[in-house]
Amino acid sequence: MKDSAFPTAHRRAGAGLAVLALGLTAACSGSGSEGADTAGAEGGSDPVTVKVLPEDGGSEVRPDVPVTVQADGGSITDVQVEQSGGADTGDGSDSAVDEVTGQLNDDKTEWVSEWNLKPGADVTVTATAENEDGEESEAVSEFSTVPAPQGQRLELVSNFPTSGETVGVGMPVIVNFDLPVENKKQVENSIEVSADEPTQGAWNWFGDDMAVFRPKEYWPSGTEVTVDMHLAGTEASEGVHGIENHRLNFEVGRKQVSTIDSDSHQMTVERDGEQIQKFPVSIGKANVEKYTTTSGTHLTMNKRRELTMDSSTTGVPVDSPEGYKLDVEYAVRFSNSGEFTHAAPWNSAALGEENTSHGCPNMSTEDAKWFYENSYQGDPLVVEGTDRELEVDNGWGYWQRSWDQWLENSATGEPDRTDEEGTPGSVHTTDE
């Protein structure tokens, strides 16, 4: 994020303008009026007229209305938007995520805010412009935004990853909301993903309350990613606005991709393009679909040092012929259909020889321990050779969609470059 009030961005400009006309070098903190004295010094240039919206004194301003500033007879040199009251950022994130930056046009005569305002806030907009002689004029507009009532406040329930984590190269950004989102385009455009390594990505929605950002290709190793969620003031659905902004930072670790081949009963692990491990495994016996390991590009999701695996959670009673209840070690989840890599010393004879499990890749205790200790959340795990395809919404199966399919399912339909400021479109509902 730049500290400048005029970052380079790529979003649509705002709507109409109200006028605060002021005299040269005069400041206006009350309501301005047309026809105010704007005469410059004798022989000098004409004064700059500064126009601002929302206008001074407003008490019920929608938070998703863009702040606009226009200079007539000069160029804008600075715009500051200060907010007090409203909901504060609840996660201790950097205050920069609350900064209302904007886009300045090429001739510096119009500035439009990029982000929405906090609901229930007192807002002060201070705009400075100068004429061709370098003489400044300043306009100040003070107004209040409408608060978001209880039951109509969009809030963040959870996000993956969390700040400070080191993740695998396939890791998506997953944001879960407490209320359904209808204006998906505006919400997508309110979340800015930036990285120190250039790439492009896009958002998809899984249901109305979960948004997922995925890069076009795996993140480059070592990438540092910042996710600024400018949700405050964004109208998620009719009458429902976000109330807080959040910042998320994470780092992408080494590139580790593991592949399980159903036919050879082997699991290979490559790190940064070099094979570093090869393990014998036994995957699902595939006599029925539920005991068939899913093929496709999975991501490691979480891991448990010890885990009780209970067939009743998949609808198979423990006391039935196919039932089981086992305590396993070194379990690494890679889908939501009960699939984990884990230690299975009772099945040692089948490892590397045949597929006999109920769907989980069985491993020796030593091998399962290594994989457990060397896995990051978001490491790709590819299974090949079974006739059960991984669904895109089964766990984090998001890489099952091609990039073209992923873009087609984005509300904006456009890629978002992580090395450019801004997002593909406007966050302001009133721009639609």
Beta-bridge mates of residue 142: 124
Amino acid at 61: V
Cα 405 to chain centroid, rounded: 19
Tell me whether strands 302-310 and 325-333 are parallel, antiparallel or unpaired. Answer: antiparallel
Would you place residue 28 in the very low, low, confident or very high pLDDT band (cuts 50, 70, 90)?
A: very low
Counts for the chain of helices (H) and strands (E), in that order: 3, 30
Tell me the residue length of the chain.
432
The whole-number pLDDT of residue 35 equals 28
Catalytic residue status for 28: no
Q: Which of 241, 298, 358, 360 is catalytic?
A: 360
Amino acid at 84: S
Q: Do domains 19-144 and 153-253+405-431 have the same CATH topology?
A: yes
- 109 with 75: CB under 8 angstroms? yes
The whole-number pLDDT of residue 91 equals 45
Domain boundaries, the chain: 19-144, 153-253+405-431, 256-375
- Which numeric CATH code is attached to 19-144? 2.60.40.3780
Task: Please state, in angstroms and rounded to a whole number, the distance separating the CA atoms of residues 252 and 240.
Answer: 34
Task: Please state, in angstroms and rounded to a whole number, the distance separating the CA atoms of residues 339 and 331.
Answer: 9
Catalytic residue status for 360: yes
- Which numeric CATH code is attached to 153-253+405-431? 2.60.40.3710
Task: Please state, in angstroms and rounded to a whole number, the distance separating the CA atoms of residues 243 and 155.
Answer: 7
pTM of the full structure: 0.86
- Tens of pLDDT, residue by residue over 88-123, are 544 444 578 999 999 999 999 999 999 999 999 999
Q: CB-based burial of residue 65 (10 Å sphere; 0-12 exposed, 13-18 middle, 19+ buried)? A: buried
Question: What are phi and psi for residue 143, nearest 5 degrees?
Answer: -155, 175
Across residues 193-206, what is the average pLDDT?
96
Q: Is the pLDDT of residue 427 over 70?
A: yes
The domain covering 256-375 belongs, at the CATH homologous superfamily level, to L,D-transpeptidase catalytic domain-like (2.40.440.10)
Q: Which of 241, 298, 342, 428 is catalytic?
A: 342
For the beta sheet containing 68-72, the strands, ordered from the edge strand earlier in sequence to the opposite edge, are 19-20, 49-53, 68-72, 110-113, 102-104
Quote the DSSP letter at residue 290. G
Task: Please state, in angstroms and rounded to a whole number, the distance separating the CA atoms of residues 261 and 253.
Answer: 25
Cα 295 to chain centroid, rounded: 27
Q: How confident is the prediction for the chain on average, in pLDDT?
A: 88
The whole-number pLDDT of residue 26 equals 29
